[in-house]
Each structure stands twice: as structure tokens, then as C-alpha cells.
Homo-oligomer: A and B are copies of this chain.
Amino acid sequence: MKTINIGLIGFGNIGTGVVNALNANSATMASRIGSQIKLARIADVDTQRKRDCDYDPAILGNDANALIDDPSISIIIELVGGLEPARTFVEKALRAGKHVVSANKAMLATFGADLWKLAAEKNVALLFEASVGGGIPIIRALQLGLSANNIRRVYGILNGTCNYILTNMAEQKKSFEAVLAEAQAHGYAEPDPTYDIEGYDTAHKTAVLASLAFQQDIRFTDVYVEGISRLRQVDIEYARDLGYTIKLLGIAKADDTAGSGRVEVRVHPTLLPRESLLGNVNGVFNGIMVEGDLVGKSMFYGRGAGQLPTASAILSDVMSIAESISRGTPPAEHRLVVPPGKKSLKPIAELETSYYLRIPVADRPGVMARLSNALGERNVSINSMIQRGDHPTGRAEVIIVTHKTSEKDIQAALAEIGAMDVTQEKPFVLRVESEL
């Protein structure tokens, strides 16, 4: 049986998972692809730290470039993460004619179209199943299983840390800060949680999904992003009372206007119907909906992070490339070409959806009429409303869910409401997706 040597750059948490998964399943993998995958070299800046896996210390070094230059290695797994030096390593490997497997969503959301183009020019593969949804084979679903479709929408829960926090805020009725601290204690959130909780991780993944789904060069900077750190426990409670649950969603939609070719790409906490399937994706799990013109709605669910689920995705890419090496032809997982520079985006100001508003006001007569007028003047119509007074303080909160309206109109109405003397705090707004 032929042996195919692979090299691993980045020997942290996920790298350790890849080594453990290879140790456990390389015989199974070999029986399925007809060639043996051998981890020939590992590079990491830290060669001393004890890793929780069995490996031959002689294959670990600190020089990624030497690994890339090693002619015996056909496939490089890039698990460095972040933009640099990851991008430089990947570019160098592709230029050297190596196949690359990467889990690096930040890199792909920033340089993806350029790197995919380079890989095509060099006739090598750059696969990235692990970059979105952890072990969920969502990239292959878009590239292969659903590739006869024109995709209309792709959206979902893409960050396990945020979903863990939101699930526990809802179930345990605790504050954002308290649940974040617990998540940090359990290792579900980083000591500096900014990347997750401010939505940047979700935005990276959404850019990758949107690029493939719409074959446009959609990058991180094209994504409208709001995180979950401003959510209060009361928002979760009000949402529940109104029949909703709140999830951080990455959303990419083709503009409904036929032939416009425009795509809206956004990340924000979103009210979803409580009985919806995505509304029932809880804890650290991810769920990704894809709507195609033939298939209709389909959903993909699973562990979006973790050593072994991520290794599952990485190794499926390694297997595809190993098969392609045996065949002498590129792997099939490159159907959706993303031409660099080609994009047509719908600005967030043109968004039309429903909105959830929480407006802290003085609890006195006439307030509701003034709020209603400000909304009505912008043609914002009210779907449902809750008013909760707190008599000792003389304050109240008015919660409104609107019918479908435009982002421009809602922002104009909120600016007016925010400037009223009866409004005691900046109104808080969330978007609602009832049709998801």
C-alpha cells in the first residue's frame, strides 16, 4: 500500500486532536482510500510543551519552512491560526506544489479567494472543511452534495462559545457576565473572549460560507457584525414571552430582487421562533441551514469545535487529497470557484426585516402614544408589545416587535425616540427572523 506523508504546522489543541485521531483511525482510513497516511513531520514554535497525545518527538521541530521544503511531504495541515505567518506558510506551500488542508477561517475570510486561485493555478488542493462548523461536513455539502442548486440563503449558529452562553443565560436565568465567567472556567470561552463574543469568529465563518454559496469574493470586512455582549438577561426573557429564542446567527442571503445578484451578509444576535429547528440548537453545538432552489431547506448540525470533531473534518480533507494523489488528478471538492474581486453586496441600511426594541422610558401617561407616533411616522408597524413598569423607580421598559420594515426607517425612528425626554437610556434593538 502506498504511503502518503503529511506535515503538520501548529501543534496546539487541534493539532493534538489530529495526532490522536490519526493514531486511533489510520488503519480505518487506509482501508477506505487505499493508501496509508503517515504524519512525517510537525512544526511548532514550542517544541518543549507536553502534548496529550502519543507522537515521536524526533519528528517535532520549530522550523515550518523546513517542513514545507521537505520533498517527501505531499500534504501540509496548517493549524497555526490567525493571519500571519499562517498565510505566508500556506502560500509558500501552494507555490511549492504541496496540497494544503487548513482550519483557518480568519485567513480564508481575509485571503481566501487569492489562495484558492493560487491553488488552482498550481493544480494543487486547498481544502478547508474544518474552517466552518467543526466536524459538520458543510463545505462538502456546498461543494458537492448541493452543487446542482442555486443557493438562496445560508445561515446558522456558527460559534459554540456564544451558543453556550446564550443557552445558559436562557436556561439558568443568569446574566451574560455570570455565564461568560462559567464558560471561561469550563474552557468554553477564552480568557480574552472578544473574538468569539463580539461575533468576529462567526463573521469569518459567514464570509467563507457566503463566498462558496454565492461564488463571490466576500471577505470578513464585508460582513456587518454585532456580538452578544450587550444582551441582557431581560432580553432573553422578553423574547421568550413573545415566542422567540435569541441566537447569534451568521446570515448570508441572496437579494430577493430577481437578477440583482446582490448578497446581504451579516452577523448579529437574532430572535428566532422558539419552535424552529435552529432555535433548538443548544449548548456548544452548531447548526447551519442551507436553502437551495431545488433542495429547499436543509440543515446540518453537530459539534462546531473541539479536538476530535475538528480532526474529523481535517482528516476527511487529507483523505480526499490522498485519493487525488493516487489518481493523479485534483480532488473534486473545488466546484465552487470564487473569483477574486467579484462581489455585489447589499448594504445593511437596505435590510428589511422585523425588529425587537427595548426602550427604557419614564413610566408616565402619554409615553406609549409618543413612541407609537415616532414609529408610525416611519411606517414602522407594531406586531406585539409588552410594557413592564417598575413603580418604585418610576421607570418602565417598553418591548416592541415590529412587522417587517427597513433598517433605515427603524434607525431613524430610534434616533428620534432616543432623543425624547421620556427615554431614559439608548433604545436597544435586535433583528428578528421569523421565516428562518
Chain A residues close to B by CB (< 8 Å): 21, 24-25, 28-29, 32-33, 129, 135-137, 140-141, 144-150, 275, 277, 280-281, 292-303, 306, 308-309, 311-313, 315-316, 318-320, 323-324, 327-329, 331-332, 335-337
Contacts and interface: CB of A to CB of B under 8 A. Distances in A.
Nearest to A313: B145
Contacts of A275: 280
The 5 closest A-B pairs by CB, nearest first: A137-B145, A298-B302, A148-B315, A135-B295, A294-B312
Given A25-B148, A147-B32, A327-B327, A311 B294 contact: yes
A257 to B, nearest CB: 19
Mostly helix, strand, loop or mixed at chain A's interface?
mixed
Contacts of A135: 146, 292, 294-296, 298
B293 A24 contact: yes
A144 B25 contact: no
Nearest to A285: B297
29 contacts: A25-B148, A25-B293, A32-B335, A32-B336, A32-B337, A33-B335, A129-B145, A135-B146, A135-B294, A140-B141, A144-B319, A146-B312, A148-B316, A275-B280, A277-B281, A292-B312, A294-B308, A294-B311, A295-B302, A295-B308, A295-B309, A298-B302, A298-B303, A299-B299, A299-B302, A319-B335, A323-B335, A328-B329, A332-B332
A68 to B, nearest CB: 24
Contacts of A308: 293-296
A324 B148 CA distance: 16
Contacts of A295: 135-136, 302-303, 308-309, 312-313
